Amino acid sequence: MMNKTILFLSLGLTLSLAAQEMFLKPAATSPTGWFPADDIRFEVKGTVPAGTAYRVTDWRGQAVCDGTLAGAELKLPKLESGYYRICWNGDEASALGFAVQPGPSSPPDSTATSFALNTNQAYLTHAATGNPHLPASGREAVSGLLGQCSFSDAREFFNWKGIEPVPGKMNWQLFDDNFSLLHQAGVKITGCFRDSPRWARYQDGSDDNSVAPAHIPDDLLAVYRFCRSAAERYRDKVNAWEFWNEPDVGFAQESAWNFASAMKAASLGFKAGSPDAAVLTGAMCLFPVRNFVKSAFASDLDFYYDIFNYHTYLMPAEYPALLQEIYALIDRAGRKPPVWFTETGTNVEGQAALPSCTPGKLEQSYEQELMVAEFHPKSVILLKQLGAGKVFPFVLPPFNEIGGAKMWGLLRQNYTVKPAFVALAVQSRLLSGTTLLGECEERNGVRSFLFEREDGSQILAFWSRSPLETQKTENAARENSSPLEREFVLEAPAGVCHVTDPFGRRETVKAAPGNTLHLKADRYVRYLEGLSGLKPAQPAVKRDAAGMAPFAGDRTVVLKAVLTRNLRLSSGRDFVDFRSESEPVGIRVELFNLSAESKQGVLHCSAVDSPQPVSLAPWAKKQLDLQFPVPKAKTGEFRFSGRFNEQAITSLVIPYRKVGELLQATPLPRAGQPDAWRTNSSGKMSIRGNSSENSVVFEIDFRNVTNRWAAPSLPLLLPQESLRGAVGMEFELKVDGNPADAMYPLVYFFGNHVQAREPYPQPTGEWKNYRILFENLKTPEGVERFQIALSGKQEKLIYQVRNIRFLFRSEK
């Protein structure tokens, strides 16, 4: 039934898209469909049949104007600010969206509320994306659009591998051009890199040019120099820098403490090149906050960042718990660092429903676009209410993931603006430069948030509470799609106020006798101007200004560790375990002097009795190979510290656990039987046994499939196979073929009120044991089935699994 329905929709829309492309596109002066009120022009393409009628509707579907297509250009009459759709011959499916908006407001003061976007236009607006509808200059079109709005900041990636493929030879041209365009648009840039050239690494032997898995660099001198060069070059354009993207998931394979070491070097380099620019932590993204993040911070990361940085794709109902965990991690010694979210997004709209003008890339239906338009403005306000600083919705240019099935872009594949972009632009125009005072008392199911301008005038952002903010899962949030229209009364000063709808249409409202306003709300954010003197019921959370924690020592000597003997890194990359109780432990400590001053000092290791003397030349590295017995304690840490030129240096901390003594493994023999598994994939899956390797083989054919995922499922026989008390699992897995073609390694758990997933490291072409300690699965007793999942890049994916065991706390 579902496949037939999708096929029907696809065939129907293919004709509509062809008609859309034949007849209309925005004029070259407004390629994104963002128009001033008195100059709304479209190019009429191809041969238009005689009598082809067009109709313009507002975002609610109400007719605004109509006429007949004729000639090479269509110019519409002047329209009020808002979001519109134009269709022909009554075919709503062929409607082309566009916006009519005023120019931007004045740029906000840096200390006031400002609004940002994740743009990534350096990579997503070039010919290699394969988009046949890319404007003649995609970056110019996107930057030009930003220049007509009031967004203050844009997050952009840059590429170390591409800039410096060999040491010392740099080519900045792509980023010179891109950053200049954004700078001319009046946008401040947050720059982030998430890759490293092969010559800057020695802990891995591959460089397949993919983004994930990426590899954190090992040469901290090279990290420092590159970051200093970038910050110097773009000092007038980039006001904030990030080192790395989502190292707690698949964008890194290295340990938490080595991420911390590399980020320290990057921070020092950024500050050397541009002292006034802010340094952000590499953006983590998982919830609950994983032990990887806590382990990284144990190595004194507090002294190397100005602003804490996170990504979230949670439902807003989870935001309070997420911020509570973040604050518990970073609020130390009276300091409350600011928090930015440099990526936010949602999956509430589900898989994109329609084919697009770009082969292999799906597009959202209009109903799905409106779901996202509800989400983003609410998300920004709710995060700011909880204390977040800048919030960067993901992402402006058209961008698909998961084999083309997930559409993230705030622009369509044809580069026209979606409702969500317009809603964010309206929010930015009205609220930039204000201060969020807090949330007012809820009235008849209507939430409202009070903003104040410097002159004391106030704006109320309000909406009907909806499942989008009350439900914790996307499926539950989709169940009620009604507008949720509600009326409420607000005490207001005498005079005239104005209400602006989510897409910019403004209307006048007057207070009734008794100075009350009778207002209507629905699930989308609206804005009431003309208020004064109101007080919030719940003040917004306030955080400190950006700035690094003071350190009474030398931050320029940075320690890094290489595991050399009898240690294995945990699957979460947050601690080490011991291969043997009888063998000594080996760790190579690398000391980097990231300064022009010679250093004399000692290195201390918590596992070694005597300190190690060290001399460090300027801009130099030394290494010490340490060996010591396995400690007696079942849990603990190896702490490395030191003093150089009579000053303390920041520490390197490696947590350890004797997992073999803490946990006992219980095999699940039935998992070795092919008929115990159930097929579950977007492609055609077969399951068979491999007697020579005692494994179960999953082979998936993804031909003619864009969203390529595989998640074979094993139902548990309850109660005898109950996971009550389980704290983790182990299994062996290998990929047949090129392991770089396998993505998104995850184990899913489902059951009675249970829906959780745990990542495992990127698989290889050899058998490898994976041990997962549960961080997201809180109620294992409710698990009824689990899935060992991978996604594929190619038309075929084959992987094998064996020796599945669940881990329980040892009674020893």
Angle between helices 220-233 and 256-273 (to 10 degrees): 40
Query: What SS3 state is found at 621?
Result: strand
User: Which residues are CB-contacts of 722 (< 8 A; sequence separation ≥ 6)?
Assistant: 716, 781
Check whether 705 has a pLDDT greater than 90. Answer: no
313-338 confidence digits (pLDDT tens):
999 999 999 999 999 999 987 899 99
Which residue has 């589900």 as its token pair?
350
What pLDDT does residue 19 have? Answer: 43
pLDDT average, residue stretch 121-130 = 78
Beta 308-312 vs 339-344: how paired, if at all?
parallel
| Alpha carbons 251 and 253: distance in angstroms, whole number | 7
pLDDT range class, residue 208, cuts 50, 70, 90 = very low
What pLDDT does residue 639 have? Answer: 98
Query: Which of 100-104, 628-632, 640-644, 654-658 has the lowest average pLDDT?
Result: 100-104
pLDDT average, residue stretch 624-638 = 96
Query: Within 13 Å and on the Cβ side, how many CA atoms surround 666?
Result: 14
Structure tokens at 134: 């890319």
**What is 532-569 written as a DSSP string?**
-S---SEEPP--PPS-PPP-SSBSSEEEEEEEEESEEE
What pLDDT does residue 707 have? Answer: 79
What pLDDT does residue 5 have? Answer: 25
Assign residue 298 a region: left if phi > 0, alpha if psi is -120 to 50, beta otherwise? alpha
Say if residues 447 and 490 touch (Cβ distance below 8 Å).
no
pLDDT average, residue stretch 409-426 = 96
| Alpha carbons 417 and 409: distance in angstroms, whole number | 9
**What is 739-795 written as a DSSP string?**
GGGEEEEEEEEEETTEEEEEE-PPP-SS-EEEEEE-SS---GGGEEEEEEEEEESSS
Residue type, 219: D
Structure tokens at 376: 């983003």
Query: Which of 69-73, 220-224, 380-384 has the lowest average pLDDT?
Result: 69-73
Query: Within 13 Å and on the Cβ side, how many CA atoms surround 549?
Result: 20
The most distant pair of C-alpha atoms in the chain lies apart, rounded to whole Å, by 92
Q: Is residue 796 classed exposed, middle or buried when 0-12, 13-18 and 19+ CB atoms within 10 A define those classes? A: middle
pTM of the model: 0.89
Which of 51, 141, 124 has its CA nearest to residue 88?
A: 51
Query: Which of 59-63, 134-138, 535-539 has the lowest average pLDDT?
Result: 134-138
Q: How many other CB atoms are there within 10 angstroms of residue 1's CB atom? A: 5
| Alpha carbons 806 and 533: distance in angstroms, whole number | 60
User: Which residues are CB-contacts of 720 (< 8 A; sequence separation ≥ 6)?
Assistant: none
Query: Within 13 Å and on the Cβ side, how many CA atoms surround 475?
Result: 1
Check whether 50 has a pLDDT greater than 80. Answer: no
Q: First-to-last CA distance in the chain? A: 54
What pLDDT does residue 676 have? Answer: 96
Say if residues 338 and 545 touch (Cβ distance below 8 Å).
yes
Query: Which of 106-120, 520-534, 631-645 has the lowest average pLDDT?
Result: 106-120
Give, in degrees to the nearest 5, the angle at Cα 297 between 292 and 301.
135
Give, in degrees to the nearest 5, the angle at Cα 252 between 251 and 254.
175
pLDDT average, residue stretch 108-136 = 76
What pLDDT does residue 491 have? Answer: 86
Check whether 22 has a pLDDT greater than 60. Answer: no
What pLDDT does residue 593 have? Answer: 98
Angle between helices 319-330 and 366-385 (to 10 degrees): 40
Using CA atoms, how far residue 451 sits from 272, 419, 531, in Å, is 37, 23, 10
For residue 633, the 8-state DSSP code is S
Structure tokens at 346: 């949602």
pLDDT average, residue stretch 200-215 = 61
pLDDT range class, residue 18, cuts 50, 70, 90 = very low
Handedness of CA 117, 123, 126, 130 (dihedral sign): negative
What pLDDT does residue 473 have? Answer: 86
pLDDT average, residue stretch 48-72 = 89
Query: Which of 312-316, 479-483, 497-501 has the lowest average pLDDT?
Result: 479-483
746-763 confidence digits (pLDDT tens):
999 999 888 888 988 889
What pLDDT does residue 11 have? Answer: 27
Which of 630, 625, 594 has its CA nearest to residue 612?
A: 625
| Alpha carbons 281 and 95: distance in angstroms, whole number | 43
pLDDT range class, residue 109, cuts 50, 70, 90 = low
268-304 confidence digits (pLDDT tens):
999 999 999 999 999 999 888 989 999 999 999 999 9
| Alpha carbons 389 and 116: distance in angstroms, whole number | 10
pLDDT range class, residue 2, cuts 50, 70, 90 = very low
Check whether 614 has a pLDDT greater than 90. Answer: yes
Give, in degrees to the nearest 5, the angle at Cα 143 between 140 and 147.
130
531-551 confidence digits (pLDDT tens):
999 999 999 999 999 999 999
pLDDT range class, residue 204, cuts 50, 70, 90 = low
pLDDT range class, residue 359, cuts 50, 70, 90 = confident
| Alpha carbons 468 and 474: distance in angstroms, whole number | 8
Which of 569, 574, 653 has its CA nearest to residue 292?
A: 574
Q: Counting every residue, how long is the chain? A: 812
| Alpha carbons 85 and 59: distance in angstroms, whole number | 7
For residue 13, the 8-state DSSP code is H
What pLDDT does residue 476 have? Answer: 85
| Alpha carbons 64 and 55: distance in angstroms, whole number | 8
pLDDT average, residue stretch 263-272 = 98
Check whether 726 has a pLDDT greater than 70. Answer: yes
145-184 confidence digits (pLDDT tens):
999 999 999 999 999 999 999 999 999 999 999 999 999 9
Q: How many other CB atoms are there within 10 angstroms of residue 236's CB atom? A: 9
Higher pLDDT pick, 484 / 104: 484
Say if residues 394 and 70 touch (Cβ distance below 8 Å).
no
Structure tokens at 21: 């492309």
Give me the residues paired with residue 749 across strands.
756, 786
Higher pLDDT pick, 270 / 572: 270
Query: Which of 123-137, 400-414, 594-608, 755-769 has the lowest average pLDDT?
Result: 123-137
The helix/strand count (H/E) of the chain reads as 14, 50
Mean pLDDT of the chain: 90
| Alpha carbons 270 and 779: distance in angstroms, whole number | 43
pLDDT average, residue stretch 518-538 = 96
Query: Would you state the torsion angle of the CA atoms of residues 769, 775, 780, 783, taken in this order, to the nearest 10 degrees?
Result: -80
| Alpha carbons 674 and 394: distance in angstroms, whole number | 41
Cis amide linkage into residue 536, ω under 30° from 0 = no
The runs of H, that is alpha helices, within 606-671 are 659-662
Using CA atoms, how far residue 527 sits from 371, 468, 498, in Å, is 19, 19, 8
What pLDDT does residue 404 have? Answer: 84
User: Which residues are CB-contacts of 279 (< 8 A; sequence separation ≥ 6)?
Assistant: 240, 241, 243, 266, 267, 270, 271, 304, 305, 306, 307, 548
Task: Report percent pLDDT > 70 for the chain.
Answer: 94
SS3 content of the chain, % helix, strand, coil (to 5): 20, 35, 40
Which of 478, 242, 246, 449 has its CA nearest to residue 346?
A: 478
Assign residue 15 a region: left if phi > 0, alpha if psi is -120 to 50, beta otherwise? alpha
